[in-house]
Structure 1
Amino acid sequence: MIHPRTLRVDYDKTISVVCVVGSELNVNLNRSAPPSSRFFSVKCTPSVWCSISPQPQETSYLSPTPLNGNSVLLITMTHASEFENDSKLSVWYYGENKEVLGRAILHLTAVEISLDVDADRDGVVEKDNPNKGSWKWGPDGHGAVLLVNCDSERSFWKKPDTEQDYISKVSDLKDMSVMVLRTKGPAKLPEGYKLTMHMSQGDAESVRVFMSRSPEVVNNAQSKKLLYNYFVRGYPLVLSSEVLSQEVPYIGGVAEMKFYVEGLRFPDKDFDGLISINLSLLEPICAGIPETPIFTDKVMFRVAPWIMTPNTLKPVEVFICSTSDNYQFLKGMRNLVAKSGYKLKICHEYMNRGDRWMQDELEFGYIESPPHWFPVVLDSPRDGKLDDFPYNELLGPDFGYVTRVAERKDVSSLDSFGNLEVSPPVTVNGKNYPLGRIIIGVAFPTATKGRNMTKVVQDFLWAQKVQEPIALFSDWLLVGHVDEFMSFVPAPDRKHFRLLLASPDAGYKLFRGLQKDGHGQAKLFEGLKYEEPRTVDDILNDRHLQNENNYVQSCIDWNRDVLKRELGLDEEDIIDLPILFKLVAEEEEEGKGNEYRAVAYYPDMVNMIVLGKNLGIPKPFGPKVNGRCALEVEMCSLMEGLGLSCTFIDDFASYHKLLGEVHCGSNVRREPFDFKWWNLEM
């Protein structure tokens, strides 16, 4: 890349000039000529290359050449100098009769300077990539990647590494992006010249830069002063929100100096994720006058987005809570996780303080750069009694933490993360979403009042860009979470997954079939303590319940159409699960009456945990036919056709009666996608 620079010269003067290899010095010959000059000639040493624009008719600049009003001398240096002022160039000016009127002499020192990053995203910092100063998405794209350093390397008094302005352990460096300053030239720069690294105030709110100490740096007198002022455990802080510009050492000969760039915050509504860092060579004018930049190199980073993981990715760990009343649930989950071959982590009562809703408190995701990735937990603003768990128990080395803080008045049940899901990869109308699409629940678009996921969380999710969110209507539910009526399971064919939807219509169809086959007296909830059994006939004769489920089916059908459109699904990609709901009154403000919203009539089988080919499903306690629960039989029939195994877990007393199910009470950390987010076509 050519960096042009206008250079002032004066006749009858000798000046020393530093030229960066790859840059071009432009000298307006007429502007610097003595009065009455009509001709000029140029002489230079072999390492200097020059030309004239516009090209004169004469083939040599060694003899007097006519001087035009717009004659510009173009000077470049082919390689770095070994010594200061080791190259020369002189411009001779002549009068009408070719008598010498004066001459300008340049003593030239050439240096190579390159600020480099991993612009081709292969894990190696290459030299002077021409695309290092910009960002482009896609497999043929360019631009370096930067991680938010949101894990914690400290064992005691831990907090995210972004909250400390020093490097506490060398292991912290792997969470940062390497930036290399490469220089080549004489042992030192001419007097007064210096290198400065700088960035804008806006970018400095999102990034910090540390410098690596090396033996070459320590032995340099200029850098000793820098290290004395900014040294912290061998990695001085160079740039931050308090220090926007900082001199960095020039090391003689052929040298490389590493810098470590640390991301401080994720993309959000007010931050597009792009960061620029600049390196300038400054030239002195005279004492008391500021230096002027004569060369600037720029690199650009994009902060890696937070990425959610869908049910189709391989599980790593399962998280559940232990409470005084959920023994049956714990027993079922232990057996399921052990059978599936994954790790189980139990949050005990001293930490959960009676809050069993592991899904609602947090969402697992990850961040990734070409050489490194680690999981990052997103902490919900619901801030229940589990609030300390993500920070105190999960944050640590290579396990990051992020949250979004909302005003308490703005937080509703829809801010719990049972209301935050993500689809498997899909293609919609030719547009590929290889990382899937985030799904959230909100109020109906035309509602004059209603609950919504808080704006700060929605803004955060939208700003990540790589999993474009879809908004569904979930406010019709009492709890209001999308996981109450939908889930995804892996499949061997079609799109490699199925969308599962709760369906009152499928429930009534099943019960009518039982009635037709003479099982109208079979009972739901049979054998459950404190629960009144109901026969199939009772349910089918309950007109009010039928009307309530017609309303629920309409709400789900609205979402069905949205999901088909936004995920590119056909009916064959959807499986309807036989689940009934009922409406219950939610007390409103005094004098405003009650609001009616839906809850599951019996354990909501769609609210399941997916562990590879093993499904942990709420035990529905449906009507028994020939000794087997008809709802379980139907569920097994639907899932086993996809090669999936159903395990039914008793969560009735400890979760269902408290308006949640298996999925609400569990969470799964999964492996990341193989697909690299920076290869997305945007």
Structure 2
Amino acid sequence: MLLAFAACDKEVPPSFSVATPLGAFAGGDTVAAPGVPLTADMDDDDRDGVIDWEQRAAIGNDQAILLLSVKDKPLRLTFSSEAGGARLWRNGEVLLDAEAAGEVTVEMIAGTREVSLGVQLRDLLGEATLTIVDVDEEGVEGEPLVIPFRAAPLLINHHLLPATHLWAMSVSSGDSYENKSMVSALSDALGDDFTPIPGSSYGYDVWVQDELEFATMSAPESFMDFVIDSIRSGGGRGLDDVPEDFMEDADFGRATWGDGTRASSQDSFGNLECSPPVTVDGVEYPLGRVYYGIGPTGGPVKELRDMLDAQQVQRPFSLDTSWLIVGHVDEFISTIPDPAAPNGFWVIVSDANVAWDVLESLDPNTELARWSGREARYEGHDMDTVGDILNEPGLRELNEDIAADHVEPNLELFLTELGLSEDNVIRIPGLFYEPWGRSYGAVALLPGMANLTVWNPEGEGVKLFMADPFIRGEDVDQSADPMIAAVRALMPPSVEAVFLDDWFVYHMGLGEVHCGTNVTRAPLANWWTAGAHLLQD
């Protein structure tokens, strides 16, 4: 569908004019970098199972539409792309095809009047240039109009972007393996904005965050939700088919980077996050910065890291997650929105000292029904009381070492890379332990409340879905849980902390709420204006 374009604000030469999504131009005008934005045609608008680019058909709204008015002189159009992957359409038919690198030229006779042109690009941040010049009877060219085109970068979502939908696996395999309480709580809180994925159809693979990373591409006339599909599963195993079954809509793209035969835990997307917008050493990152963890065998697969680096506007950095069994950044650090906070958000980090302060304030005989594992359907930590945690041999020393050697250095690096300080941090209770010995690494002992999911729809308040710590006895509800009370007291007034029972399926499976949920979000800033200074030629 053609949209209304801005009128040209200068006297237009009589030979031609071009209306673009950025305004109207004529010979001799300059179209500023990055040029006319569009989305790479990586979706399946007609939902026939074939990406639109591969069909050589004008499908959907991913083209940049131009209206060319040809008047009293013939025109010469030259369409070029150094990397290839570009097409120029005229009235629904391919006029110039730069599938391969190079340039192609066509003559257009005078008096054609108004012609609809469409530019289509294949790749993320793909580029093409259309040069239009009039030619007089002597063959002399007039002042050219050079129009650059730039496909959108793939933008990883961050927690300040408005949430639009939440996904989690629903599992019920008898009393021994089910998450009915968590799914019910999410459904009650979110209604139609929540989709439970049936576990029996996807191998009971509950780690929805680890399989999928949601992102977006946008341009003035098009928008595309996007799924980066992890290499952690393939061949229809586990969650592999979820994007095709639930998310492959007309404007929902999908791609995988890397070879699944080389997958490690660092290729799961609890290990791939994006900060909110920041300014670092005077450089603005209005779309945030991507970060991921480096484990014992390295970080995410090279193909994915190369793709993230190539997007430029969310310049990635890495943290050390080699000390964790699972090895994901979401296990100990996150960000939450708060309009009253410096920069509009807080950094959340797990802190053992905060946990000890809460536990030491309690009667050591306080029962821990869930921790003891006395409930037949739950595995526990073989700790019957708060005193058992406080007196666990070596636990305090282990957490002191983890804080000094890993959490604090990672936090310092995180703050430095984002231009932040300790004033931007909220420390919440967190304890780690090494269930299989030091050589295997650490995992959350106290259910990891930093491993949280942010729900913040546009125009509504912020909900944080967090793991219920269960520092209470049997038949005692959340209102009497001192750890929950302590965490709520640390949260800003604009934030509501909602505690979910993720104990058996997630916590005892070495994950937490964030690992088992995923959220689509709507973009706010335009990359072609706010992020243009970060794009390299």
TM class by shorter-chain length? 0.7 to 0.9
Match for residue 231 of structure 2? 381
User: Which amino acid letter does the alignment assign opposite residue 127 of structure 1?
Assistant: A
Correspondence 1:411-430 to 2 at 5 A: 411-430=263-282
CA distance in 1, matches of 2:360, 2:271: 32
Match for residue 246 of structure 2? 393
Q: Is the 8 A contact 1:328 1:651 kept in 2?
A: no
Give the deviation of 1:558 after TM superposition.
0.9
Match for residue 396 of structure 2? 546
Structure 1, unaligned stretches of length 5 or more?
Answer: 1-77, 81-111, 137-142, 213-233, 268-272, 286-290, 444-448, 587-593
Q: Is the 8 A contact 1:160 1:395 kept in 2?
A: no
Structure 2, unaligned stretches of length 5 or more?
Answer: 1-11, 457-461
What SS is found at the alignment partner of 1:645?
strand
Query: Against the structure 1 CA distance between its residues 350 and 196, is the aligned structure 2 distance closer, same or farther, given a 3 Å change threshold?
Result: farther
Q: After superposing the two structures, state which structure 1 stretch, 396-405 or 243-252, moved more.
A: 243-252
Identify the match of residue 163 of structure 1 among 39, 54, 64. Answer: 54
Query: Against the structure 1 CA distance between its residues 530 and 563, is the aligned structure 2 distance closer, same or farther, given a 3 Å change threshold?
Result: closer
Match for residue 7 of structure 1? none
What SS is found at the alignment partner of 2:354?
helix
Equivalences, count: 502
Identify the match of residue 487 of structure 1 among 334, 338, 341. Answer: 334
Q: Is the 8 A contact 1:620 1:632 kept in 2?
A: yes
Q: Is the 8 A contact 1:317 1:344 kept in 2?
A: yes
Does 1 or 2 have the higher relative contact order (CA < 8 Å, sep 6+)?
Answer: 2
Query: Against the structure 1 CA distance between its residues 398 and 542, is the aligned structure 2 distance closer, same or farther, given a 3 Å change threshold?
Result: same
User: CA-to-partner distance for each residue in 1:215-272, whole Å, 9 max, x for gaps?
Assistant: xxxxxxxxxxxxxxxxxxx4235313259555545243262322211121114xxxxx
What SS is found at the alignment partner of 2:83?
helix
CA distance in 1, matches of 2:379, 2:201: 30
Query: Against the structure 1 CA distance between its residues 509 and 667, is the aligned structure 2 distance closer, same or farther, given a 3 Å change threshold?
Result: same
Match for residue 78 of structure 2? 197
What SS is found at the alignment partner of 2:361?
helix
The answer as to 2:464 corresponding to 1:615 is yes
Give the deviation of 1:163 after TM superposition.
2.5
CA distance in 1, matches of 2:435, 2:19: 59
User: Which amino acid letter does the alignment assign opposite residue 468 of structure 2?
Assistant: K
Match for residue 131 of structure 1? 30
Identify the match of residue 258 of structure 2 among 405, 410, 416. Answer: 405
CA distance in 1, matches of 2:98, 2:414: 44
What SS is found at the alignment partner of 1:386?
helix
Query: Against the structure 1 CA distance between its residues 383 and 126, is the aligned structure 2 distance closer, same or farther, given a 3 Å change threshold?
Result: farther
What SS is found at the alignment partner of 2:466?
strand
C-alpha RMSD of matched pairs (Å): 3.1
Give the deviation of 1:389 after TM superposition.
1.6
Match for residue 147 of structure 1? 39
The answer as to 2:368 corresponding to 1:523 is yes
User: CA-to-partner distance for each residue in 1:90-122, whole Å, 9 max, x for gaps?
Assistant: xxxxxxxxxxxxxxxxxxxxxx356x463xx64
Query: Against the structure 1 CA distance between its residues 492 and 550, is the aligned structure 2 distance closer, same or farther, given a 3 Å change threshold?
Result: same
Match for residue 472 of structure 1? 319
TM normalised by structure 1 equals 0.67
Query: Against the structure 1 CA distance between its residues 605 and 299, is the aligned structure 2 distance closer, same or farther, given a 3 Å change threshold?
Result: same
Identify the match of residue 293 of structure 2 among 427, 436, 441. Answer: 441
Correspondence 1:36-115 to 2 at 5 A: 112=15
Give the deviation of 1:401 after TM superposition.
1.8
Match for residue 276 of structure 1? 129
Give the deviation of 1:342 after TM superposition.
5.4
CA distance in 2, matches of 1:558, 1:619: 27
Q: Is the 8 A contact 1:318 1:342 kept in 2?
A: no
Identify the match of residue 596 of structure 1 among 440, 448, 451. Answer: 440
CA distance in 1, matches of 2:115, 2:483: 67
Match for residue 168 of structure 2? 320
Q: Is the 8 A contact 2:428 2:487 kept in 1?
A: yes
Give the deviation of 1:176 after TM superposition.
0.8
Identify the match of residue 368 of structure 1 among 209, 218, 223. Answer: 218
CA distance in 2, matches of 1:337, 1:423: 27
Identify the match of residue 303 of structure 2 among 438, 452, 456. Answer: 456
Q: Is the 8 A contact 1:624 1:630 kept in 2?
A: no
User: Which amino acid letter does the alignment assign opposite residue 458 of structure 1?
Assistant: R
Identify the match of residue 239 of structure 1 among 97, 102, 113. Answer: 97
Give the deviation of 1:661 after TM superposition.
1.3
CA distance in 1, matches of 2:410, 2:357: 21
Q: Which has the higher strand share?
A: 1
Identity of aligned residues (%): 29
CA distance in 1, matches of 2:204, 2:474: 37
CA distance in 1, matches of 2:140, 2:435: 73
Give the deviation of 1:521 after TM superposition.
5.0
Give the deviation of 1:670 after TM superposition.
1.3
Between Structure 1 and Structure 2, whose CA radius of gyration is higher?
Answer: 1
CA distance in 1, matches of 2:41, 2:24: 20
Give the deviation of 1:564 after TM superposition.
1.6
CA distance in 2, matches of 1:400, 1:197: 30
User: Which amino acid letter does the alignment assign opposite residue 334 of structure 2?
Assistant: S
Query: Against the structure 1 CA distance between its residues 643 and 341, is the aligned structure 2 distance closer, same or farther, given a 3 Å change threshold?
Result: farther
User: Which amino acid letter does the alignment assign opposite residue 615 of structure 1?
Assistant: L
Give the deviation of 1:652 after TM superposition.
1.2
Match for residue 177 of structure 1? 64
Q: Is the 8 A contact 2:80 2:104 kept in 1?
A: no
User: CA-to-partner distance for each residue in 1:415-461, whole Å, 9 max, x for gaps?
Assistant: 11111111122233433222222121114xxxxx5331111111111
Give the deviation of 1:301 after TM superposition.
1.4
CA distance in 2, matches of 1:615, 1:129: 54
